[in-house]
């Protein structure tokens, strides 16, 4: 091929590329979707963990929802009150009062206190135990299995298995909800950081069955319910429940509980 032919081909290819680039640039400007500058500002204010604890697909999803009025300015559980205040400032609204929440595992059945039906040797995965006899080796079918699916799910290293049960570090917990979704027994719930007393049991069995399976299970005796001056605790489905909005932290329920199921935060 002659030099002239090579130059001509290069010019044609180059010219075509320039034309395509020009048309793409024009099309990009014509079809460009204008973004709300508040959305970018909110993304900058958010922690950037993209944990999904807010219920949206990452921080950008939450920022978009806040700008559209579909989510509260306090929608980020990781950022808490400081981030809510910053987002509220961007949106020109009041942040309102926010309550810091933390995860809590409703089981106190440690290796020493919870009995076993048999020894288990197999895949150490909580979800897998749904397919083994009685849903796992623990005599209590409501108890923590202790194989750490919640630990693996936590992006903040805030939950660990200690003596056979999952335990939350409330200082490290960001209330993202990942551990709640990972627990097949549904033993983990969010409670206020300031909550003074919590019921560390989830068994719905009757008292006799509970005592046969665990030393620290709720036997539904209702002494806590009868003695609470604020009527903040009730026994339903054989298990005590504390209404944290009513609880004043007097500690009477914990004192009266014969099985010491109600624990100090």
pLDDT at res. 12: 72
CATH code, residues 100-194: 3.30.70.20
Neighbours of 63 (CB within 10 A): 27
Question: For residues 154 and 181, what is the distance between their CA atoms, to the nearest angstrom?
Answer: 10
The two three-digit tokens of residue 77, written as one number: 């559980």
pLDDT (tens digit per residue) in 132-182: 988 899 999 999 999 999 999 999 999 999 999 999 999 999 999 999 999
Domain ranges of the chain: 37-91, 100-194, 196-265
* Assigned fold of 196-265: Alpha-Beta Plaits (3.30.70)
pLDDT band at 27 (very low <50, low <70, confident <90, very high): low
Q: How would you class 208 by CB atoms within 10 Å of its CB: exposed for 0-12, middle for 13-18, buried for 19 or more?
A: exposed
pLDDT at 260 over 80: yes
- For the segment 4-28, the average pLDDT, to the nearest whole number, is 68
Q: Is the CATH number 1.10.1300.10 carried by domain 37-91? A: no
């Amino acid at each position: 091929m002659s030099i002239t032919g090579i130059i001509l081909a290069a010019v044609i290819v180059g010219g075509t590329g320039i034309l395509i680039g020009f048309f793409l640039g024009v099309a990009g400007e014509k079809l460009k979707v204008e973004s709300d500058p508040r959305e970018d500002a909110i993304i900058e204010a958010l922690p950037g963990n993209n944990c999904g604890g807010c219920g949206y697909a990452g921080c950008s999803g939450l920022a978009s929802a806040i700008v559209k009025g579909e989510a509260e300015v306090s929608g980020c559980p990781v950022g808490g009150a400081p981030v809510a205040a910053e987002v509220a400032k961007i949106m020109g609204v009041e942040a309102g009062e926010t309550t810091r929440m933390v995860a809590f595992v409703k089981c106190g059945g440690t290796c020493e206190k919870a009995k076993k039906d048999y020894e288990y040797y197999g895949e150490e995965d909580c979800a897998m135990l749904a397919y083994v006899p009685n849903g796992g080796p623990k005599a209590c079918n409501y108890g923590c299995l202790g194989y750490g699916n919640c630990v693996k799910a936590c992006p903040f290293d805030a939950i660990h298995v200690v003596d056979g049960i999952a335990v939350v570090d409330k200082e490290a917990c960001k209330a993202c909800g990942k551990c709640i979704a990972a627990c097949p027994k549904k033993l983990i719930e969010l409670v206020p950081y300031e909550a003074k007393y919590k019921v560390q049991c989830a068994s719905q069995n009757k008292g006799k069955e509970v005592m046969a399976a665990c030393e620290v299970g709720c036997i539904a005796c209702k002494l806590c319910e009868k003695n609470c001056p604020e009527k903040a605790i009730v026994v339903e489905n054989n298990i005590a429940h504390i209404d944290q909005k009513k609880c004043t932290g007097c500690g009477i329920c914990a004192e009266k509980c014969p099985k010491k199921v109600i624990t100090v935060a």
